[in-house]
Structure 1
Amino acid sequence: MKNASLPLSIDEVGSGSVANRWVQLLAGLVCMMAVSSPQYVWTLFTKPMLGELGGTLSQLQITFSLLIVVQTFLSPFQGFVIDRFGPRLLLSVGAALTGASWVLAAHAHSLTMIYLTYGLLGGIGTGIIYVGIVGLMVQWFPDKRGFAVGMVAAGYGMGAIITTFPISSSIASNGYHATLQTFGVIMAIVGVCAAQFTKRPPVGWMAHARTTVDAGSGVAPGRMLKTPVFWLMFAMMTMMSTSGLMVISQMGSFAKDFGVAGVVVLGMAALPLALSIDRFTNGLTRPFFGWVSDRIGRENTMFIAFGLEGIAMLLWLMTRDNAVLFVLLSGVVFFGWGEIFSLFPSTLTDTFGTEHATTNYGILYMAQGVGSVLGGPLAALLHEATGSWIPVFGAVIAMDILTATLAFVVLKPMRRKYLATRAAH
């Protein structure tokens, strides 16, 4: 009889387990889609909320930052709990909390209550789902890590395609209170149902397909935090998060200032059309560049993708008064941004192993929280201080180009050296 502690191959665990990992991918995809709206349609709520609740844009954008900060800064703890107790229960709780955040926000009549419901509670719920699903995929798909993480991350990026126009229409006809109530219930039901199909892979699952680091014991969070390569990845993910989250949180405002928000393009208003295209390219880029990185390397792919976003952002700014180009280039911008959610977790797990993958990625994911503060209220404050979006765009374009350069010039040799040192010991 084979020792249960030894690595298992696909042949040894049977075709049922092989099929099951694709069920896990599908369940993870649906979970991610269910909780994507709080982040990706937030900009549709800013105008009606400001009209009713008052305050400034920078004050309201604290909600968005809270959502992302809580989602990311609690993720190491959430990852640890999921690693300890399994995904099904925790993911169910995450979906229920996300739906509840919108239902409660529907009854909020002050900025403080919006902060506590949409921001705080929503961040807890979406964080549990995001970190839990990514951690599950890197364990089930060691041989297709970039692709699998990219697919579920695509669910988070593309899920709002389904809801953008319905939510925009509902806000216009029923008001944002009723919209939050209805869609909050829907996302909770869908997310909880999908979570029931999730589980961990068998012990020793596909160890033969892992990297040299994976084949041994994984690097624990405490040891990971002492390595320069981790902090370089953290800084890079922070800069890329800032760029994309600035666009996500401020797009409704700068589209209005550019004079294109209400312009009709292809029979539809430019802003919701751009948001829908963004959700599609933001999702498509995650499995696409994840698949590319499985073949040409993580850092090479980062250089291409991050550079693409920087160039697209520059062209977007230069043609900002053209509604058609505004819509088209917004899609290119997100095609160059969304892949951070497949490339960074794949690179991190390639480097530090799968044993502590969920907790380790929870720590790296905190970089998005930092980026949400820089791209949310601080970007709004910079706009308010200068009266222009040009300084804001200039800062994030510089971050894109710098991150692309760091990936190829610094991260690539640094990670190669670290892996060689790990293998030698």
Structure 2
Amino acid sequence: MATAAAPSQSQHESLLQNRWVILFFSILSMVAVANFQYGWTLFVPPLQKHLGQEQAVIQVTFTVFVLLETWLVPFEGWLVDKFGPKLLVLVAGILAGLGWVLSGKAETVTTLYLSYALAGIGAGVVYGTAVGSALKWFPDHRGLAAGLTAAGFGAGSAFTVAPIANLINSSGYQAAFIQWGIIQGVVVVVASFFLKSPPAGWMPHGWKEAAKGVEVKQRQSAVDFNSYQMAETPQFWLMYVMMTMVATGGLMAVAQLNPMAVDYKVDKMPVNILWLTMPALQFALSADRLVNGICRPFWGWVSDHIGREKTMTLAFGLEACAIFVLIKFASNPYMFVVFSAFTFFGWGEIFSLFPAICGDFFGRKHATANYGFLYTAKGTASVLVPIGSALAAGKAFDFRADVLLLIGGLLAVYAHFISPTLLRVRLSKKVHDTLFTVGLCIVAYGIFLTVVPKAWTPFGAKFTLPKVGWAGVFTIAIVFDLAAAVLAFFVLRRMRVPSAPVEHVEGEAPAMMPALKH
């Protein structure tokens, strides 16, 4: 709880110390890294042609990017909480810009993977820092602040899609990578000088945290959980599963929209909406990014009023309906544009609602690192993107990295959560730490294998997948969305906000059971 001496927003402060100004530069940094994800689909066909590779092989680049953008965020969040955001974001801007510049010079798939990996690390630092900053500076408006910040990432590419597409057409994808990589890297570096963390004990003027142990109307915990303690709760793992499910469909749409438009032969068909005429693909990409950004503060604002879980149910259901209509009428250029936009309107909210509910449940002291762990769910979902490409076309796919990621992830989750929480099996500290460390090492090698696909493994796992087409691939996404909506309304909504971290018995792993609000 704060004392009377705690700093507050009511004190006189310079313009550059104002939390709204800091939020602005956080959003600006997010805008600058948005194209690394949302502009990717424009580069897929020319990369296929130049490198002479199948689409599934090129799309592994996107998986590499998202894995490193997400799975390193917990560590990056810890660094931000320890050293502050300015230095980390400055380095991130250099890495992100360099990643695109080197991607423009890549002549092999492995070089492309490694180059885009740098972009992923840089974008991950920016994303984790910006969202964590919003959660810390705006405990009174978590949903709205997280939504505005995430909107920078979602809508940041809305007005650059056409210039990048035109540059690719006129000068080649290499020039687009290099020129825009430099521009975006410089913007992040400049924004970094205006970022800072709030002082210890700081609170907005007129806002008070709930007394310890009291669950307020907004279901906000008065206790600050660190990431280790958070990972011992069933609430966190339910959120993780839900976010993975919903992220799957959206990431497939992000990565596959260009190839999908080409397959349905609508990519170059002119579309006139609201006195604007553009090729259907460019129109869809611009509209999708704009709507994807607008929806994040909108859903965040809604969740601040009706609750996170009810808002999730509405948004996930909307996304499922939009995907259903999209795959049914994708051959119509107007329907393609409109319902791809609705898909992103229902998807983008996960990047405002999940950080907000994570802050609600686990406190704001470790908000950057905690949401960093939850954000890795996006990386887990990204593993399915190249598999989706292979399923759509009925191509062979190498599952070795996926097998390693699955085995390593299960070992780590078993040791830290399933055994003590669900099975109520007490592991000694030595066994727990061994299983957890081995699991993380296997996951790390799985990520390495994704980046360097010729790396050695003691087994092979390359299989030809059945051809299910885009309809089959996105049907899986619909099922995931509906399942997440059900979990949000009937399970997460009934769970209590954790009231205290689990007390550990020395030498033993913790044991606890889910707490439901009846």
Give the TM-score normalised by structure 1. Answer: 0.94
The alpha-carbon distance between structure 1 residues 52 and 352, as it changes in their structure 2 partners (threshold 3 A), is same
Matches within 5 A, 1:78-93: 78-93=76-91
1:319 is displaced (CA, Å) by 1.2
Per the alignment, residue 45 of structure 1 pairs with 43
For structure 1, list consecutive stretches of 5 or more residues without a partner in the other structure.
none
Matched residue, 1:147: 144
Identity %: 44
> 1:211: how far off?
4.8
1:80-229 pair list within 5 angstroms: 80-118=78-116, 120-206=117-203, 208-211=207-210, 216-229=222-235
2:60 pairs, out of 32, 53, 62, with: 62
More helix by share: 1
Match of residue 231, structure 1, among 225, 232, 237:
237
Tell me the CA shift for residue 361 of structure 1: 0.7
Please point out which of 289, 308, 316 is paired with 1:306. Answer: 316
Alpha-carbon distance in structure 2 between the residues aligned to 1:24 and 1:211: 26
Tell whether the 8 Å contact from 1:69 to 1:370 is kept in structure 2 after alignment: yes
CA distance change for structure 1 residues 358 and 173 in 2, over 3 Å: closer, same or farther? same
For these two proteins, the number of residue pairs brought into alignment is 417
Deviations 1:247-291 (A, max 9, x none): 001111111112211111122110011000000000000000001
Root mean square deviation, CA, Å:
2.0
1:8-23 superposed matches below 5 A: 8-11=7-10, 13-14=11-12, 16=14, 20-23=18-21
Shift of 1:8: 3.8
Determine the structure 2 residue equivalent to 1:382. 391
Which structure has more relative contact order (CA 8 Å, sep 6+)? It is 1
Q: Distance in 2 between matches of 1:90 and 1:18?
A: 19
Deviates more, 1:206-215 or 1:263-272: 206-215
Match of 1:321 among 311, 331, 337: 331
Residues 309-338 of structure 1 show CA distances to partners (whole Å, capped at 9, x for unaligned) of 001111111112111011011111100000
1:16 CA displacement = 4.7
Aligned residues of 1:217 and 1:355 also touching (Cα < 8 A): no
Go from structure 1 to structure 2 and tell me whether the alpha carbon gap of 1:52 and 1:17 turns closer, same or farther (over 3 Å shift): closer
Q: Is the 8 A contact 1:5 1:203 kept in 2?
A: no
Q: CA deviation at 1:209?
A: 3.5
AA aligned opposite 2:298: F
Aligned to 2:475: 394
Q: TM-score, normalised by structure 2?
A: 0.78
Choose which of 345, 350, 355 in structure 1 pairs with 2:360.
350
The answer to whether the 8 A contact 2:68-2:121 is kept is yes
Quick one: distance in 2 between partners of 1:74 and 1:176? 28
Aligned residue type for 2:41 = T
User: Aligned partners of 1:234 and 1:319: how far apart in 2?
Assistant: 32
SS in 2 for 1:210: coil
Distance in 2, matches of 1:209 and 1:296, equals 21
Q: In the aligned structure 1, how far is the partner of 2:330 from the partner of 2:169?
A: 26
| CA distance, structure 1, for counterparts of residue 353 and residue 54 of structure 2 | 36
- Please report how far the alpha carbon of residue 14 of structure 1 lies from its aligned counterpart in structure 2 after TM superposition: 3.5
For 1:268, give the aligned amino acid: M
Match of 1:412 among 493, 500, 503: 493
Task: State the distance in 2 between where 1:148 and 1:27 align.
Answer: 13
Measure the CA separation in 2 of the matches of 1:143 and 1:228: 25
Residues 221, 497 of structure 2: 8 Å contact kept = no
Change (3 A) 1:328 1:168: same
Question: Unaligned 5+ residue runs, structure 2?
Answer: 213-219, 395-466, 503-514
* Cα gap change, 1:59 to 1:212, in 2 (>3 Å): farther
Shift of the 413–52 alpha-carbon distance from structure 1 to 2, 3 Å rule, reads: same
Distance 2:15 2:132 in 1: 18
2:367 is aligned with what amino acid?
A: A
Structure (1 or 2) with the larger CA radius of gyration: 2
